């Protein structure tokens, strides 16, 4: 591996011949990295992996089926659910309103929403929500060991076909006591991003999904991205699958997720559109230069590893991973029949995304391995 990395550095020259050699080597390195990641984690892959730079796709792979019953294959332009990867879009939407002077990071949630917020602490600000430091009680507490059971119990109690508006979630959130005081620590929060979606609606006067469509999806020309209803997915969109260990069969996730995605998860997108999104972020197409800098800044620490010196931090709806002087900006998502990660490596300008329609995979490990070759 070190010899290959040396060759990569050698070929990082501006001449056409050297650039072609660099791309050939990088393609091989990315292919090996992805293949070894699957092998080491004993993963059967159903989905798409794609890595690109400013010159286009370097390496991509599609495997298995988007529709298992009809044996319709996943292709490199298939759209997949991205679960909590949607929070990246929500963070951008909130920062867009801040950029326009309609909102600030210091604004308090209780001052922004006209509804009774129950037990939510009156000190919670937009910044707390964006950085997962609000302490708001969560309708699915992902810090708990039984978060998967919590999710299923909620779907049983609140029929998924009714989860079409963000207000519907309030009955699951506002009665819950705070987990900790605002700003005390990092604590991943789905509820916090539902509340941010409600802020977007209150300030813009538009449904959250429409605001994202107008200001991010359309603005970046994302042609196969949207909040698609689970019961009316468009062509070339992957169904999500769960494996039934008792019957050894696959079933779709239509009864396990909200019928329409919201501000904490549920968007669908494809590899080429995610590449366009990264370009839109880093070319200041969505936010001003100053706001982009604030969006990408590490505002709180989520996790530190003393052994390898890596740090995971939280920006304003985006995650930041640093190790040995290298940086990756990333987003991940996992749910029933949904797995997703995407990362941008500023040192090389490479973006890489992995989509799975059979659930969560070892995505943090993949992001780390890709950092090693950038």
pLDDT at 13: 52
Pair 208, 245 in one domain: yes
Task: Please choose, from the candidates 104, 129, 260, the residue with its C-alpha nearest in 3D space to the C-alpha of residue 192.
Answer: 129
Question: How many domains is the chain partitioned into structurally?
Answer: 2
Pair 313, 348 in one domain: yes
Strands 72-73 and 65-67 turn out to be antiparallel
Pair 145, 16 in one domain: no
Cα distances (Å, whole numbers) of residue 249 to 69, 156, 164? 11, 22, 29
pLDDT at 151: 85
Pair 16, 62 in one domain: no
pLDDT at 152: 84
Q: Which residues contact 1 (CB under 8 A, 6 or more apart)?
A: 372, 373
| Tens of each residue's pLDDT in the chain, 374 residues | 444 444 454 455 555 555 566 788 999 999 999 999 999 988 899 999 999 999 999 999 999 999 999 999 999 999 999 999 999 999 999 999 999 999 999 999 999 999 999 999 999 999 999 999 999 999 988 888 887 788 888 988 999 999 999 999 999 999 999 999 999 999 999 999 999 999 999 999 999 999 999 999 999 999 999 999 999 999 999 999 999 989 999 999 999 999 999 999 999 999 999 999 999 999 999 999 999 999 999 999 999 998 899 999 999 999 999 999 999 999 999 999 999 999 999 999 999 999 999 999 999 999 999 999 98
The neighbouring-strand residues paired with 249 are 244
Pair 95, 29 in one domain: no
Give me the CATH number covering residue 360.
3.40.710.10
Distance (Å, whole) CA 225 – CA 97: 21
| pTM given for the model | 0.94
* Structural domain range at position 82: 44-372
pLDDT at 19: 54
Pair 220, 357 in one domain: yes
Pair 199, 127 in one domain: yes
Pair 152, 5 in one domain: no
pLDDT at 313: 98
Pair 29, 169 in one domain: no
Pair 22, 131 in one domain: no
At which residue do the structure tokens 């309103």 appear?
Answer: 97
pLDDT at 15: 54
Q: Name the DSSP class of 213.
A: I
Pair 71, 103 in one domain: yes
Pair 6, 24 in one domain: yes
pLDDT at 140: 87
């Amino acid at each position: 591996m070190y010899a290959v990395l040396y060759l990569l550095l050698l070929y990082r020259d501006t001449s056409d011949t050297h650039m072609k050699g660099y791309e050939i080597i990088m393609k091989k390195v990315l292919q090996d990295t992805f293949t070894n990641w699957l092998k080491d984690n004993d993963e059967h892959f159903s989905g798409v992996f794609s890595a690109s730079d400013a010159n286009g796709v370097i390496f991509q792979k599609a495997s298995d089926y988007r529709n298992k019953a009809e044996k319709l294959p996943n292709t490199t332009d298939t759209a997949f659910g991205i679960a909590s990867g949607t929070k990246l879009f929500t963070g951008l939407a909130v920062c867009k309103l801040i950029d326009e002077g309609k909102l600030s990071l210091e604004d308090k949630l209780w001052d922004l929403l006209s509804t009774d917020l129950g037990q939510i602490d009156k000190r919670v600000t937009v910044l707390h929500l964006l950085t997962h430091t609000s302490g708001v009680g969560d309708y699915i507490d992902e810090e708990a060991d039984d978060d998967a059971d919590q999710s299923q119990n909620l779907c049983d109690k609140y029929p998924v076909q009714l989860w079409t508006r963000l207000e519907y979630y309030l009955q699951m959130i506002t009665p819950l006591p705070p987990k900790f005081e605002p700003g005390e620590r990092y604590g991943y929060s789905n509820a916090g991003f539902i509340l941010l979606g409600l802020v977007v609606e209150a300030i813009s006067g538009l449904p959250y999904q429409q605001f994202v469509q107008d200001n991010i999806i359309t603005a970046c020309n994302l042609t196969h991205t949207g909040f698609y209803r689970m019961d009316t997915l468009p062509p070339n969109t992957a169904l999500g699958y769960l494996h039934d260990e008792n019957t050894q069969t696959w079933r779709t996730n239509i009864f396990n997720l909200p019928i329409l995605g919201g501000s904490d998860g549920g968007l669908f997108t494809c590899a080429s559109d995610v590449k366009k999104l990264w370009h839109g972020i880093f070319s200041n197409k969505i936010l001003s230069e100053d706001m982009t800098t604030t969006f990408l800044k590490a505002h709180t620490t989520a996790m530190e590893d003393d052994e390898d010196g890596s740090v995971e931090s939280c920006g304003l709806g985006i995650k930041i991973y640093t190790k040995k002087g290298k940086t990756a900006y990333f987003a991940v998502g996992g749910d029933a029949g949904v797995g997703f990660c995407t990362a941008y490596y500023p040192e090389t300008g490479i973006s890489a995304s992995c989509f799975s329609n059979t659930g969560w995979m070892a995505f943090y490990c993949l992001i780390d391995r890709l950092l090693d070759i950038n």
